[in-house]
Amino acid sequence: MFSKIPFSKLELGSYLLLTAGVVGDHLSTGIVLAKSNIRETNPIALGLMQNGLWLYADLILILGSILITYYVVRALKNPINKYLLLYPMLVGAIRLVVTFWNFSLLFV
């Protein structure tokens, strides 16, 4: 699957998907929570929001995921390491699904 895509494009796409998903989820949640009849149901996100740590947690998620993946892929010169890029891709994809879910709540 990954063998036909140049590594640099795969890596960049992985990091961009992660960033787009986290930023999209963060922004869409803020927009949706502005409606008076919608509440946050995720207890972890709610706790972070109540303590003013939600933005910092998302920034740490993005930066930490990119830095750790970037370092491990380069430090351990093993061709199988490119599969580590599945982690930021998966997190980004899940957060994009949450983004679309949040926007669907605007029409309820």
Is 47 in a helix, a strand, or coil? Answer: helix
Band (pLDDT 50/70/90 cuts) for residue 5 is low
Q: pTM to 2 decimals?
A: 0.88
pLDDT tens digits for 46-103? Answer: 999 999 999 999 999 999 999 999 998 888 877 788 889 999 999 999 999 999 999 9
d(CA 100, CA 72): 31
Cα→Cα distances 63→22, 34, 79, 99, 101, Å: 11, 27, 23, 20, 24
Residue with tokens 């998620």: 61
Average pLDDT for 18-39: 92
Average pLDDT (41-49) is: 93
Q: Are 95 and 22 in contact (CB under 8 A)?
A: yes
